[in-house]
Structure 1
């Protein structure tokens, strides 16, 4: 008879893959830049939507997609497939091209991607410099970033898939203005944002290679935002995060659950290590507690009208019940 979790058996959390940052640091940097190239195509071809909601990607059963992008009376989409390790470009009139995701420089990826677009009758130009990255190298000149570990990229997507699923459940608890759960290629993170409805003080801006007016539009109103980030040089580990803008007094000293969550002064946000979630007996419950606890701290300290903004009806019924 198998041991139960309560009897000391380790839970089967294989759906939440290990993602040590140092093991795929170079692939992460290269993939970030590839997503920026594709993302900028969506940016220049899609009508502006407040808070830059016209630019993110979305999770699919195989990877990340731009969703349909208008091109006159035609449309096209681009998908990163992290199962077959392909970049697929498909058009509404039945044309398609694919590129292999493999070790190659950003400059090489850039050239082939735009050659594929041209071959599909899609003439598009983008700004050649990456956003939200200090000392950024123009895409067409970047021969330094050239790594692609297929297994690591697949693990990253599978981690995103689990985060996306739980974040979508958290999103259902709110009836005020709220973003979709979406992946921002500039900051390379999955995020969902709730709004109080009140205007916010002007954001100071200052994000590298990102116009201040873009940042100020993103933070034009009071927000609580949470998400998943795979790590970077400033914090070399994958994390879940939560922050408020503007940050209400006392937010940084709040003590939301779980005990493994801490406030990071340098980042100005609460962080919860991804591994703490991955190794938990009930990963979904732990992560939802983190999101709910940090939201309540932000909303209560910020004097949000919670009764008007939160879902008050019966529990959602699953299909077939």
Structure 2
């Protein structure tokens, strides 16, 4: 075991994968010599050479398009899009090529690529460095979508994603990179003032895709969250004293529906929390699934707590986030319904 931040855990995952499989290659903007804008790839080029960890032009469509061609040839690219906000020029490549390659070739080709992206706010990055676009990818058949909430899961999920035969969108919450993110905070002192360290195995291990984790057991209400919002949900349950069961989804696609349904049938109530905007957010899909599978067990309406339906507000960043106060109010609301 080693004590790692999420950044270090992600770097360790790529290191382990590159050491085990010479077909794993890492590339993207500034990931080589500089080691990535968040330092997630620091040292990999020096260790594995410029043919396996290299820099690219500022061209996300070319980064992803090249990765798809490499994957069809037999390599396993793990590429970085510097911020999730930059992925839109590559969206056509992801949707029209990567997601469909297995199906359109009748299984003759697969597309084992991972597209890593820092997601969400927390660094005062404004409208072009802070978006949470996960719903754009969960809508696409053929993709897998992963959002870790802690260093241990980040490493295990990333190794599993690299070893997966199909394309994986790997979203890394920036607020959790260095932590510690205490979900009680409504605002940080400084975004990078402290470090959250977790016990993470040095070597190879995987966390299975498509399996949620119950972070807090409870019997009064189920809270569905992922990424940073897992910590907010845990803090809200503690602050309110409500016996909430907090589920960390970890993988949005495929979704662990069995764990969700079992929990909601037990508690009879459900609150969904995510940082992205409300309208057409992934929480709407979660609410629809809970409604379908747990209707006769629900004792209150399902409540969603999300970001605002506005362009990302730079100056009001920490008011935009669902914080423990807003989530706590939702917990009280469903308990009193």
- TM-score, length of structure 2 as denominator length: 0.29
Give the alignment's TM-score, normalised by structure 1: 0.30
Which structure would you say has the larger Rg? 1
